[in-house]
Amino acid sequence: MMGWMEIMKLENPDSDGVHEIEKDIERLRTISERFSKIGSVPELNDTNFNDTIRENYDYLKTRISRKIDFTLLLPTYNILVPHNRILMSWVIENLVKNAVDAMKGEGTLQMSVFERNKNILVEVKDNGSGMTKYQAQNAFKPGYSTKKRGWGLGLSLAKRVVQEYHNGDIKISQTEVGKGTTFRILIRKA
C-alpha cells in the first residue's frame, strides 16, 4: 500500500484521496502496534488526553455513517494525565463502533470528556437499541456478544486496558432498551 501511495503522490500529491489513504495506512500501523502491546505492560508516555480524544474523534467521524450526528464535548483547558495513546484510542474506537452498530448506522452519538474529583471521565452516549439487564451484566465478559459477527472480545479487552494499564474503570452507566446506552470510562489523575 505504501508503494502505491508514493506513486499516487507523484501524480497528484494534494488529492483528498491521497490524504485519506495516508490516514488509513497510519491507522493500520497503529492497529499492528495495539496487538503488540496487548499482553505486555505498555508505557504511559502520552499526557495530553484532549489530543488523544480529538485525534480519535476526527478519524472516526470521517469513517462512520453520515446519518449519525457525532459530537465531541471537550473542556476548554488541556487535561494532562499519563496514558497510552494507542491503547486508549483503541478503547474509544471500540465503544464508538459498538454504538454505531447499536444505532444501525443512524442516530445521535455524543462523546464527552470532563473532570470530577481528580478523575477524568469519558462518556460515549448513543440513542441506539440499548441493552437488557442481562446483556448489560454480561457485556464485559470475554466471548459474550449480542452481534451475529465478532468474537465478543472488544469490551473485555477495553476493560483490561482501562483497569490494568490505566488504573481506571469502565462501565455501562446507563442503558434502556430502545433508548440507548452510555458507557463511562474513569481514569484517576495521579
Q: What is the CATH number of the domain that holds 159?
A: 3.30.565.10
User: Is residue 162 predicted with pLDDT exceeding 80?
Assistant: yes
Residue with cell 505498555: 42
Average pLDDT over residues 58-71: 93
Shared domain check, 150 and 97: yes
Q: What is the dihedral of CA 165, 94, 119, 81, to 10 degrees?
A: 60
Shared domain check, 32 and 125: no
Cβ within 8 Å of residue 166, ≥6 positions away: 44, 83, 84, 87, 88, 187
Shared domain check, 110 and 31: no
Shared domain check, 18 and 96: no
Which spans in 12-165 are helix H? 16-37, 49-61, 85-102, 133-138, 154-160
For the chain, what is the total number of helices (H) and then of strands (E)? 7, 7
Amino acid 1: pLDDT: 67
Shared domain check, 110 and 83: yes
Amino acid 130: pLDDT: 96
> Cα–Cα distance between 121 and 75 in angstroms, integer?
11
Amino acid 147: pLDDT: 78
Domains identified in the chain, total number: 2
Residue with cell 441506539: 128
Task: Classify 31 as helix, strand or coil.
Answer: helix
Shared domain check, 123 and 72: yes
Amino acid 34: pLDDT: 58
A 10 A CB-CB count for 32 gives 10
Is residue 113 within 8 Å of 121, Cβ to Cβ?
yes
- Domain span at residue 32? 1-40
User: Is residue 21 predicted with pLDDT exceeding 70?
Assistant: yes
User: Is residue 37 predicted with pLDDT exceeding 60?
Assistant: no
Q: Residue 58 is placed in which grid cell?
A: 476526527
Shared domain check, 64 and 35: no
Kindly report, residue by residue over 84-114, the tens digit of the pLDDT.
Answer: 998 899 999 999 999 999 999 899 999 999 9
Is residue 186 within 8 Å of 168, Cβ to Cβ?
yes
Shared domain check, 77 and 33: no
Shared domain check, 32 and 82: no
Shared domain check, 79 and 2: no
Shared domain check, 30 and 56: no
Which pLDDT band holds residue 69 (cuts at 50, 70, 90)? Answer: very high
Shared domain check, 89 and 57: yes
